[in-house]
Chains A and B, each alone.
Chain A
Amino acid sequence: MNALLTIIHRDLLLVMRRKSEVLTALFFFVVVTSLFPLGIGADAALLRKIAPGVIWVAALLSTLLGLQRMFASDYADGSLEQLVLAPQSMVLLVMGKIIAHWIVCGLPLVMIAPLIGIQFDLDASSLYVLMGTLLLGTPVLSLLGSVGAALTLGVRGSSVLMSLLILPLYIPVLIFGAGAVYANSVGLEISGHFSLLGALLILALAFVPWVSSAAVKIAIE
Chain B
Amino acid sequence: MTNHISPTSSRSDYALEACGLTCVRGEKQLFSNLNLKVTPGSCLHVRGENGVGKTSLLRLLTGLAKPESGEIFWGNESIFKDSIGYHRHLLFLGHKDGLKEDLTALENLQMYASLDAVSLTQENALAALWRFGLRGREHLTVNCLSAGQRRRVLMARMLTRQAKLWILDEPFNALDIKAVHELKNLIAEQLLKGGVVVMTSHQEVNLPNMQVLDL
B114 close to A79 (CB less than 8 A): no
CB-CB contacts below 8 Å: B48-98 with A = 62-66, 84-85, 87-88, 90, 92, 94-98
Q: Is B101 an interface residue (CB 8 A)?
A: yes
User: How far, in angstroms, from A78 to B100 measured CA to CA in the complex?
Assistant: 9
A82 partner residues in chain B, CB cutoff 8 A: 92, 98, 112, 115
**In the complex the two chains form, what is the Cα distance from A88 to B83 in whole Å?**
10
A10-B111, A17-B141, A78-B94 known; A85 vs B62 contact (CB < 8 Å): yes
Q: A17-B103, A85-B92, A221-B64 are in contact. Are A3 and B98 (CB under 8 A)?
A: no
Please give the distance in Å from B83's CB to the nearest CB on chain A. Answer: 9
**How many residues in A have their beta carbons less than 8 Å from beta carbons of B?**
25
Main secondary structure of the interface of B (DSSP, over half): loop
Given contacts A2-B117, A87-B117, A221-B65, contact A81 B96 (CB under 8 A): yes
Which of B62, B64, B84, B141 has a CB less than 8 Å from the CB of A87?
Answer: B84
Q: How far is the CB of B82 from chain A (nearest CB, A)?
A: 10
Q: Which of B91-139 contact A (CB under 8 A)?
A: 92, 94-103, 107, 111-112, 114-117
Docked CA distance A185–B106 (Å): 54
Which residues from chain B contact A13 at a C-beta distance below 8 Å? 102-103, 107
Which of A6, A77, A84, A85 sits near B101, CB closer than 8 Å? A77
Give the bracket for the number of chain B residues in contact with chain A: 20 to 34
Contact in complex: B85, A87 (CB < 8 Å): yes
- Name the contact of B64 in the complex, choosing from A14, A18, A84, A86 (C-beta under 8 A): A84
Contact A81 B115 (CB under 8 A): no
Q: Which residues of A contact B115 (CB under 8 A)?
A: 3, 6-7, 82-83, 86, 88, 93
Taking CB as reference atom, which chain A residue is nearest B163?
Answer: A87
Enumerate chain A residues within 8 angstroms of B103, measured Cβ to Cβ: 10, 13-14, 17
Asked if A81 meets B92 with Cβ closer than 8 Å, knowing A17-B102, A87-B117, A221-B66, the reply is: yes
List the 5 closest pairs (A to B, CB-CB), nearest first: A78-B96, A87-B88, A17-B102, A78-B98, A82-B98
Binding site for B on A (CB under 8 A): 2-3, 6-7, 10, 13-14, 17-18, 76-79, 81-89, 93, 220-221
Binding site for A on B (CB under 8 A): 62-66, 84-85, 87-88, 90, 92, 94-103, 107, 111-112, 114-117, 141
